[in-house]
Amino acid sequence: MKPTVRLQREPFDAGAEAEKLARGRDDIGALITFTGICRGTENGEPIAALTLEHYPDMAEAEIMRHAAEAASRWSLLGVTIIHRYGRITPGENIVLVATASQHREAAFAAAEFLMDYLKTRAPFWKQVETASGKTWVAAKAADDTAAGRWEVQRRERKAAE
Amino acid sequence: MNVKLRYFAWVRERVGKPEETVEIPPGVATVSDLMAWLASRGEEYAFAFENRNVIRAAINRSHVRPETAIKGAGEIAFFPPMTGG
């Protein structure tokens, strides 16, 4: 299984990406697609746009590492991850995670794992543009907690081996 | 030791440049030492590195911890906690 990872400025077509992942195959029984979308408000205040800054070489390598980690934890038949950068306006997509497996458990779990890691470990930074100016989005403790539970699971699995 | 430094998000804004190559003096051995030394290089650096426990670092494009040795590093990056996804 070779993951597809793309960093791009342009919007993506989630449906087309999912279809591409499963096209011509009859071994895939479950296909999950998650799309992260730019909301029109942040903390109750309307926003004009989000600008995503990233560390290009590291982002691609880091996402690839996480896709490989997901493939070592679950039996996956396909993974596509697309992360946009640059200026994104409300309603536009930001990130796509698509996972395919024989049965649904692996695809669901892997998609959630990948999103939790993208939020806390992939080198991207969001800046919010509102009528009162531009501010950097602060990291959320809830995202660290969500990513941390996979680490606990990994340690427990190792201890059980 | 000559190292390329890269800054992202508000660390970049505060330092006032996205990257630079610096000659690191002997005695600066870890990521944490490097941040302390950078903070002493002027007002903009002091501002960027005033709250050092929140700043994350990467050596040669991999996440590292403050106590990691910088010996042999080609590229060291400093940035705030990540907010992608």
- One DSSP character per residue, B19-47 reads EEEEEPPTT--BHHHHHHHHHTT-HHHHH
* pLDDT higher than threshold 80 for residue A26: yes
Sheet holding B75-79, edge to edge: B19-23, B2-7, B75-79, B56-59, B62-64
Domain locations in chain A?
4-160
- Domains in chain B: ranges and CATH: 2-79 (3.10.20.30)
* pLDDT higher than threshold 80 for residue B40: yes
pLDDT by residue (tens digit) across A68-103? Answer: 999 999 999 999 999 999 999 999 999 999 999 999
The answer to whether A120 contacts B6, with C-beta atoms less than 8 Å apart, is no
Q: In CATH, what is the architecture of A4-160?
A: Alpha-Beta Complex (3.90)
Shortest CA gap B69–chain A (Å): 19
Q: Can you tell me the ipTM of this complex?
A: 0.95
A75 to A17, A58, A78: CA distances (angstroms): 20, 26, 9
% chain A with pLDDT above 90 = 81
The alpha carbon of A157 is separated from its chain's Cα centroid by a whole number of angstroms, namely: 24
The answer to whether A138 contacts B84, with C-beta atoms less than 8 Å apart, is no
The answer to whether B84 contacts A124, with C-beta atoms less than 8 Å apart, is yes
Is the Cβ–Cβ distance between A83 and A17 less than 8 Å? Answer: no
Dig out the tokens for A93 from the structure: 């997509």
Q: Which residue has the tokens 């050596």?
A: B59
What confidence category does residue A43 fall into, taking pLDDT thresholds of 50, 70 and 90?
confident
The answer to whether B85 contacts A127, with C-beta atoms less than 8 Å apart, is no
% chain A with pLDDT above 70 = 100
Question: What is the pLDDT at residue B67?
Answer: 97
What are the start-end ranges of the E strands in A14-123? 30-37, 41-42, 45-46, 49-54, 76-84, 86-88, 93-101
pLDDT by residue (tens digit) across B56-66? Answer: 999 999 999 99
Name the maximum alpha-carbon separation found in chain A.
55
- Written as one letter, the residue type at A17 is E
Judge whether A130 is closer than 8 Å to chain B, CB to CB.
Answer: no
Q: Which residues of A64-80 are buried (b: 16+ CB within 10 A; e: fewer)?
A: eebbebbbebbebbbbb
